Amino acid sequence: MLRKPVSLLLPAAFLLFALAALVLPLNRDESQYVAAVELMRYGLPFRDFMYLQTPLQPFLLAPFAFVEEGWLFLTLRLTNALVAAGAILLVYLAARGAGGTPRRALAAAAMLALCDAMIFAGGVARNDALPVFFEALGIWLLVDARLPIRLTGRHFLAGLAFGAAVSVKISYIVPAGVLFAVMLYEGRRDRCRGAVAYALGGAAGVVPTLLLLALAPESFLFGAFEYSLVAPQQWRLLNDQAHMLEFPTTLARLAWFLVQGPALLVLALVLWRRFRHGRDRHAVALDWLIVAGCIAAMLPQPSFRQYVIPILPPLFVRFGAIHGPIASRRGMQLGFAATLLLGLWRTTSETVATLRGGSPILLAVVDGDWLGEHLDDSGAPGMAVSLSPERFAGGKLDIDPRFAMGPFLFRMRGLMTPAEEQRMHVVTRDRLDRALTSAPPPAIVTGGEGRSTPGAPGGLDAPLRHWAERNAYRRMQSPSGMLSLYLRTR
C-alpha cells in the first residue's frame, strides 16, 4: 500500500526543490560557488583562484562548466535540487534501516523536505546540498544492517561519505569527528576495527582537500580557515551589527531557522522520547550526531539558515526510527501543521512574486546572455571584473579570477598585504584602483551589490562604478534593468 508514496518521494522532493531553484532570489553566496565551477576550466582552487571552503565541490561539478553557454547558473541550481532530493530518499532508507516503520520513515523524510533550511539547500547554487547528501549516505550505511556489505566495509564507506562531506564544507568535521569518537568508545570489545575502517574511509574522503593544501598551503589556510574566523565578523562590525555576533542572538536565530519547518518540534519530541523511554536502536550514534550538528551550527558567526542543515539528517532519521504513537494529541498535530506552513512560507511567497515579476534565475540567464553578446560585439579581449560573477558564469563573458569570490574578499579591510593579495590572486577595495589602472579590464559589471550599508556607502559596487565612470567606460543597461555593463572605450 505504501509503495506508491515511497516511489513518489524522490520526484516529489526534486520538484519542490526545483521550484525553489526557479523562484528563490539570487543569493550573494552563490557567486563563489558558481564562479569556482566555471574557473575549473582553466585552473585549480587556491592555486589559480581563491576559494573559501574545502574544495571537493568544484571538482565534482567541474563537468557542468561545459554546458551550453549561459546556462551554468541554472544547471547548478537544478543539480543541487536533485542532490538534495537524493538526501531526502537516503533519510527515508536510513530511518527504515534503523528499524522505523514505512509510514513513520516516510513521514520523517517528507517533513525534512518541508524544512525551509532544506528547501534553501536544494534551491540555491551553494555548497549545502552535497555535504548533507554525503551525511545522509554515511548514516544510512551505518544503521542499515540489511545492506549486503560487511560491517567493516560499511564503516569504511561511511567514513568515506563523511570525509567527502568535510571536503565539501569544513563545518562537517564536527559530526565526522564526534562519530569517530563514538565508534572508538563503542568498539572497545572488537579492538575498534569499525572505528579504524571508518577513519581509513574518512582519510580517503579528504584526499582532495589534502592535495590542494599541498599545492597552495598559504591560499588554502586563508580560504578554508582564516577568512571565516575574521572577515565575516569584521564586516558585521563595520556595518554596526555587533549584536549579530552575540551568543543569545545566535541561539535565537538558530531556533527561528529550525522552527521554519518541523525540525524544532521534532527535536523536542526526540528529546522527550529519549528521556522518557530510554534508548532506541542506533540511538547513541544518532543522538551524538544531533549534538554535533548543533555544535557545528553554533560555530560560524553570524548565523544563517544553512548552518542548521547538519542537524537535520540524524534528527529525522532518529524520529523516523521511533515506534509507537508520538503526535496523538490534537495540539501536537496543530503544531506540526503550523511549522510545516512556516517551512513553506518563504517558498510560497517567492512563488507568488515570481508569477508577478518573473523568475530571478531565468532573468539572470537572460542578462548573462546579453552581457556576453555585447562584450563579444565590442571585440575587446580579456576578462570582466564584477562582484556578481554568477550572473554571467558559463557564458561568453570570462570571469576575472581575482574577483571569483564575489563580494566576500573585496569587502575585507586590512586583512592582506599587497604581496599576499598578489600571491593569492585577490583584489580588495584597498587596492582596487591600482589593480584596475595597471591592467584596465575590457568590461565591468555592476548592479548585484548596490545596497548601501554603513560599511559600504553606495553599495560594494560603488568603487567599481566610480572607477569605470572616471575612466570613460561606456555604460549599458541589462534587459532586466538590474545590471550595468561598462565597456572600455577605444
Number of residues that make up the chain: 490
Taking only the tens place, the pLDDT of each residue in 455-475 is: 899 999 999 999 999 999 999
Does residue 350 form part of some domain?
no
Question: Looking at residues 328-335, what average pLDDT do you find?
Answer: 70
Whole-angstrom Cα distance, residue 86 to residue 70?
Answer: 26
Strands (E), 31-165: none
Distance CA 294, CA 317 (A): 16
Q: Is the pLDDT of residue 321 over 50?
A: yes
Q: How far apart are CA 289 and CA 161, in angstroms?
A: 14
Q: Is residue 306, in this structure, part of any structural domain at all?
A: yes
Percent of the chain's residues with pLDDT above 90:
70
Q: How confident is the model at residue 259 (pLDDT cuts 50, 70, 90)?
A: very high
Q: Is residue 217 part of a domain?
A: yes
What range does the domain containing 23 cover?
3-344
Are residue 87 and residue 142 in the same domain, yes or no?
A: yes
Same domain, 273 and 227: yes
Count of the separate structural domains present in the chain: 2
Q: What does 163-192 look like in DSSP terms, one character per residue?
A: HHHHHH-GGGHHHHHHHHHHHHHHTTTTTT
Same domain, 150 and 261: yes
Q: Over range 215-222, report the average pLDDT.
A: 96
Residue 355 domain flag:
no
Tell me which DSSP letter residue 141 carries. H
HSE-up of 352 (CA within 13 Å, CB side)?
Answer: 5
Mark whether 144 and 177 lie in a shared domain: yes
Q: Are residues 124 and 29 in the same domain?
A: yes
What pLDDT shows up at residue 475?
93
Same domain, 242 and 336: yes
- Whether residue 282 is found in the same domain as residue 377: no
Beta bridge partners of 456: 453
pTM equals: 0.94
Residue 328 sits in the same domain as residue 365: no
Least confidently predicted of 119-128, 324-333, 368-377, 428-437: 324-333
**CA separation for the pair 75, 487 (Å, rounded):** 28
- What percent of the chain clears pLDDT 70, i.e. is strictly above it? 93
Segment 355-364 shows an average pLDDT of 93
Q: Which of 66, 34, 125, 27 is nearest to 405 (CA)?
A: 34
Tell which of 300, 320, 344 closes a domain. Answer: 344
Claim to verify: residue 242 and residue 217 sit in the same structural domain: yes
Each residue of 58-102: pLDDT tens digit?
Answer: 999 999 998 888 899 999 999 999 999 999 999 999 999 998 899
Residues 253 and 386 both lie in one domain? no
With b meaning 16 or more CB within 10 Å and e meaning fewer, what string describes 443-463? bbbbbbbbeeeebbeebbbbb
Same domain, 320 and 187: yes
Q: Say if 449 falls within a structural domain.
A: yes
Mark whether 185 and 323 lie in a shared domain. yes
Nearest residue to 228 (alpha-carbon basis) of 280, 179, 300, 133: 300
Residue 161 — pLDDT band, cuts 50, 70, 90? very high
Mean pLDDT of 246-255: 93
Residue finishing a domain among 344, 369, 400: 344
- Cβ-based neighbours of 103, under 8 Å, separated by 6 or more: 2
